[in-house]
Amino acid sequence: MAATEDSLALPEFDEAPRLLIVAAPFYRAVADNLIAGATASIEAAGGTFEVVEVPGALEVPTAIGIASRMGDYDGYVALGCVIRGETTHYETVCNDSSRAISLLGLQGLCIGNGILTVETMAQAEVRADPDQMNKGGGAAAAALHLIALARKWGRKDKGIGFTTNFAGGTHTV
């Protein structure tokens, strides 16, 4: 992963994290570079991943929400690109996809947001390129850091606050 002077080192894991990369390939070359950066970061941390594609940036959070209910993933990487056009559709897509991803994160999902919001294709290309700004790798790294925090704070001995009595003794739930 291309690094910046303020980037954190990738976290280390005792058990490999499993991530879902959800990509919107509207701009295929940009999406492919974002995916390449994300997969390299996940592999560098010893993680595994699956990649799924959805039609556009607005569908990315919906796919993550479905996967969180029906899949078995530790974290998620949201990838796509929105380039400003001549209408207000740009603001709608940028704001709504970002807001939905943030809300999912506030519900406890570990999500790295790599949906680019740019003015030009040239900006998108630089940001997506794993050898330049590597925003796909950065989004994967963000998800990995959140997974590490969730594992740190999700102690096995921490229940929801009550005990039950069984014939063989008590059990904290």
* Active site amino acids: 89
Q: Which of 27, 19, 81, 80 is nearest to 51 (CA)?
A: 19
Beta bridge partners, 19, equal 49, 75
Nearest-angstrom CA–CA distance, 162 and 143: 31
Distance CA 81, CA 119 (A): 10
Burial class (CB in 10 A: 0-12, 13-18, 19+), 95: exposed
Residue among 48, 26, 25 at smallest CA distance from 38: 48
Bridge partner list, 80: 115
Q: What are phi and psi of 60, to 5 degrees?
A: -60, -55
Residue for token digits 């096995």? 156
12 Cβ contact list (under 8 Å, min separation 6): 45, 46
